[in-house]
């Protein structure tokens, strides 16, 4: 059976190979996943908080809930856009896994985007029409439910990909193909609780501390309110850290055990919980926002690495190794990506700095200069990109 599955995975791999060394793609996959999961969990956390605070919160919490209501749809948008990169990279080196999972769960895979669109639209409806007076809570609740469903679908896809040995049975039990794709074939409740629910509390907590840190610098800052916000963020993070450990242990001793990774996962999650607890405990909630974000992003990098190790271990059972993935150095691809990375990062940095400075009243001169340079680079990049193909006519 092992031999058959090994052969199957090799046959499913795209004959073209990757256009760059597969290990680089693997690193990009993990790194971009960190960004994606941060915004996804932030969207869930912000939605949960807005709903709770409008329902049972005090005056300052309702004030904060209006901010959370504005944050939620923007975080969904950023979660979607940052999710494109890991989606690209996973298909490049794990094509058999990703495509098999998507076809076996085709109905939900297709429905996913409609679910996210529904969740996003309702979140915006709530922000624009409901949040000023705390009305339309149903929209916020339904939006949250849809976002959680979207998270569940992605969780099922990721898990279905981990078990190639069952794919044929799931596709055609007794040789009778099931082409509906409506069954959730594989899931792990501790894993989804860890990644989607508990992590959302931490992403929210860290963002609240960041909020307090940023707005305390303004002359018209309401320090009492910001102190309350920062303290709430810290409290949430400190409560979530041990929960992350508990659900992490459950994940390690269920799915982790299946792949012989439970000891190493237990160790990583214990260290991570200690890092989070110690890191947040002595943090000033009003000034420690940036440090809190750094600690949490580092932890997310650890989580992303654990996910990747599970996937790599699963397919290694069938002699499928990322490092062995066929590839050719397609230098044109590499150049396009590298050049765009430089231009893109410069423009994004400028946009972030304008947003940062706008809250303080004036954009600094060096930021304006960066803007001029970024626009020049972007224009030159676009011209180069369009003109490069004119060689067709030469």
Partner 1 sequence: MYPIWEGVFVHSAMYVAIVAAFHVLASHLTVAAAWFNLYLERRAVHENRPEFYEYLKRSALGLLVFAYVFGALAGVGIWQTTTAANPRGISTLIHNFVLYWGAEWYMFLIDVIGIIVYYYTLGRVSPRTHLKLAWILALGATGTLAIIVGILSFKLTPGAWLQTGASLDGFYNPTYYPMLAMRFALMFTITAAWACLIASTMPQGTPWREHIIRRASVMGLAGLIVGALVWLFWYYPTLPEHARQVMASRAVPPITYQVIIGGVVLTALGLLLNIIYPRHQRAVIAVGAMGVLFLAIFGAERTREVMRKPDIIAGYMSSNQLVIADIPARGVRAEESRLNQQGVTGQLPFIVPVKAAQDLYDTQKQWKTGKLLVLQQCASCHSVSHQTSIAIGRHELRLRPVDELLASRGATTPQAIEAYLNAIGGFPYMHPVKGTQEERAAMAAYLYSLVSERTAPPTLARR
Give 152 or 381: the residue with its C-beta nearer to partner 1.
381
Sequence-separated (6 or more) residues with CB below 8 Å from residue 192:
151, 152, 155
| 163 touches partner 1 (CB under 8 A) | no
Q: How far is the CB of 72 from partner 1 (least distance, A)?
A: 12
Dist CA 89 CA 94 (whole Å):
8
Work out which of 55, 107, 138, 329 binds partner 1, going by CB under 8 A: 107
* Both tokens assigned to 65: 């809930």
Asked whether the beta carbons of 340 and 371 are under 8 A apart, the reply is: no
| 149 touches partner 1 (CB under 8 A) | no
| 382 touches partner 1 (CB under 8 A) | yes
| 246 touches partner 1 (CB under 8 A) | no
| 156 touches partner 1 (CB under 8 A) | no
In the chain, the largest separation of any two C-alpha atoms, in whole Å, equals 71
**# of chain residues touching partner 1 (CB under 8 A):** 97
Work out which of 22, 45, 83, 248 binds partner 1, going by CB under 8 A: 83
Strand runs labelled E in 200-286: none
* Range 309-368, binding partner 1 (CB under 8 A): 326, 328, 330, 332-334, 336-337, 339-341, 343-345, 347-348, 350-352, 354-355, 357-359, 363, 368
Using CA atoms in the order 249, 186, 258, 240, what is the torsion angle rounded to 10 degrees?
-10
Asked whether the beta carbons of 332 and 391 are under 8 A apart, the reply is: no
**What are 18's strand-pairing partners?**
327
| 77 touches partner 1 (CB under 8 A) | yes
Give the number of other Cβ atoms within 10 Å of residue 379's Cβ.
11
Give 56 or 180: the residue with its C-beta nearer to partner 1.
180
| 27 touches partner 1 (CB under 8 A) | no
Q: How far is the CB of 121 from partner 1 (least distance, A)?
A: 8
Work out which of 27, 55, 113, 257 binds partner 1, going by CB under 8 A: 113
The helix/strand/coil state of 219 is: coil
Give 12 or 275: the residue with its C-beta nearer to partner 1.
12
| 33 touches partner 1 (CB under 8 A) | no
Sequence-separated (6 or more) residues with CB below 8 Å from residue 353:
363, 364, 367, 370
């Amino acid at each position: 059976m092992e031999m058959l599955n090994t052969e199957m995975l090799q046959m499913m791999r795209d004959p073209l190979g990757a256009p760059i060394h597969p290990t680089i793609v693997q690193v990009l996959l993990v790194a971009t996943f960190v960004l994606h999961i941060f915004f996804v969990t932030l969207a869930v956390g912000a939605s949960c908080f807005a709903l709770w605070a409008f329902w049972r919160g005090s005056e300052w919490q309702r004030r904060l809930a209006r901010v959370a209501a504005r944050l939620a749809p923007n975080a969904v948008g950023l979660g979607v856009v940052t999710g494109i990169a890991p989606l690209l990279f996973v298909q490049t080196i794990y094509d058999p896994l990703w495509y098999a999972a998507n076809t076996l769960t085709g109905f939900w895979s297709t429905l996913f985007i409609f679910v996210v669109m529904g969740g996003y639209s309702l979140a915006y409806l709530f922000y624009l029409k409901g949040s000023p007076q705390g009305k339309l809570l149903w929209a916020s609740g339904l939006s949250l439910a849809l976002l959680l469903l979207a998270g569940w679908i992605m969780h099922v896809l990721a898990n279905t990909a981990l078990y190639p040995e069952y794919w044929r049975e799931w596709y055609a039990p007794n040789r009778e193909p099931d082409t509906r794709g409506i069954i959730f074939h594989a899931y792990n409740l501790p894993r989804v609780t860890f990644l989607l629910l508990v992590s959302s509390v931490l992403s929210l907590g860290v963002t609240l501390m960041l909020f307090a840190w940023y707005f305390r610098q303004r002359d018209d800052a309401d320090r009492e309110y910001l102190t309350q916000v920062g303290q709430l963020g810290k409290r949430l993070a400190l409560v979530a850290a041990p929960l992350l450990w508990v659900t992490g242990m459950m994940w390690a001793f269920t799915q982790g055990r299946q792949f012989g990774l439970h000891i190493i996962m237990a160790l990583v999650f214990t260290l991570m919980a200690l890092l989070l607890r110690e890191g947040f405990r002595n943090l000033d909630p009003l000034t420690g926002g940036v440090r809190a974000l750094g600690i949490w992003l580092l932890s997310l990098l650890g989580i992303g690495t654990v996910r990747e190790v599970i996937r790599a271990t699963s397919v290694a059972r069938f002699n499928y190794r990322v490092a062995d993935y066929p590839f050719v150095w397609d230098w044109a691809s590499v150049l396009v990506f590298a050049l765009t990375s430089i231009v893109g990062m410069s423009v994004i940095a400028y946009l972030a700095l304008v947003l940062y400075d706008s809250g303080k009243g004036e954009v600094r001169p060096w930021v304006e200069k960066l803007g001029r340079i970024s626009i020049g680079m972007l224009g030159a990049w676009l011209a180069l990109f369009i003109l490069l193909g004119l060689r067709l006519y030469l």
